[in-house]
Structure 1
Amino acid sequence: MSLNIFLDNSNIWLVGRKVCSSNEPGHESAFRIHFAKLFDFVRNNRAVSFAYVGGSVPPNNDDLWLRLNAQGAIVEKQERAVSGGEVAVDEAIQLQMANRIIDVQPPETMVLLTGDGSGYTDGKGFIKQLERALKFGWKIEVISWDAGCNRHLKEFAQANGCYRPLEPAYANITFVNNVRWAK
């Protein structure tokens, strides 16, 4: 069963930076994710039929988006609000998830990389999309940093599919620029 990967880049990077603060204090500003190795961890020797990355446009970071695209992912960037906050990144990812649920037959495996569980009590958000995937016969996986994963999202994944924490792979999927390379 092929994978459909959905990466909430901002969530994974921001929480990863907090994990860096615990593991390698003082290097948070140089913390980076090695996306090829992250995708290898996610794939786990399985076929990928679709990969989507949602994020916001950080200043001077075009290389990041090109690298993600080189991994075979569709990359969609949203402009940041004047206040600096993200605008519609989660919703863009959720729309892509819904489109795959509806358009792909037979159902495959949906892999979501985020820790964001907001919106569920209002009938929206990532958990709601995962519920829809299950209803249509998809298998689900959530991959997240334990340090920042919404407890409802984690519990939902554990009860209905698979939850994989990123912390055991920290040294393999991250690096500290000019200090430590990913293993």
Structure 2
Amino acid sequence: MQSTSANEVCVFWDNSNIYVPAQDVARGRDGATVGRDLRIQFDNLYELARAGRKIVAGVCVGSQPPELKDLWVRLRDVGVELELFERGEESGKEQAVDQALQVHMLRAALDRAPGVAVLLTGDGSGAHLGKGYFADLKRMHSKGWKVEVLSWKDSCHAGLQEWAKKNGLFVALDDYYESITFIKGVRQSKRVARRAVV
């Protein structure tokens, strides 16, 4: 079993659950026309998740729209493992993205001594059935893992948000909006501020 120190974290990142709600936040803050011009500043979001600690395991899952292909390179550059999935041919929806990230969470729980799990998502579906990110984060916590959830306030599953506040740390991405996003041709991102950790 690999050891994990207090200054080391495992990051589990669901890109769609960060990017799609960010568009809604952008419309409210920067205007209705922002739409697909909004981008996530991957380097800064990575720094926010890391919070000055060493990432011993980092994975981001998502689907791969062809027009955004170049943006994924930024994540690879900072050392985050990428798992990209094609959208379903008939449905146009993501396929197996959530399950792939959950596998990484459970592998970390089995292969590493408890450390800090940083989860970037707002998805809490399936928790009442013992499935999904929320259920697996609870499993990790029960095995001694400290937990941090980074998500947008209004789109985060209410149960996940409250549980994280009581059992670890909830970080509202809204508070870092201007640092972790930019708008193509309109606004650059600001420097990311330090945050509290568990």
Same fold (TM over 0.5): yes
1:117 & 1:90 partners in 2: Cα distance?
11
Question: 1:1-183 counterparts in 2 under 5 A?
Answer: 1=6, 2-25=8-31, 26-81=33-88, 82-105=90-113, 107-183=114-190
| Length-normalised TM-score, structure 1 | 0.97
1:162 & 1:57 partners in 2: Cα distance?
30
Instruction: List runs of 5+ in structure 1 lacking aligned partners.
Output: none
Helix, strand or coil: the match of 2:52?
coil
The percentage of aligned residue pairs carrying the same residue is 40
Q: Deviations over 1:122-169 (max 9, x none)?
A: 110111111111121110010000021010110111111110000111
Task: Give the counterpart letter for 1:84 in structure 2.
Answer: G
How many Å apart are 1:32 and its aligned residue?
0.3
Helix, strand or coil: the match of 1:60?
helix
* Aligned residue pair count: 182
How many Å apart are 1:172 and its aligned residue?
0.8
Q: Deviations over 1:102-123 (max 9, x none)?
A: 0012x11000000000011111
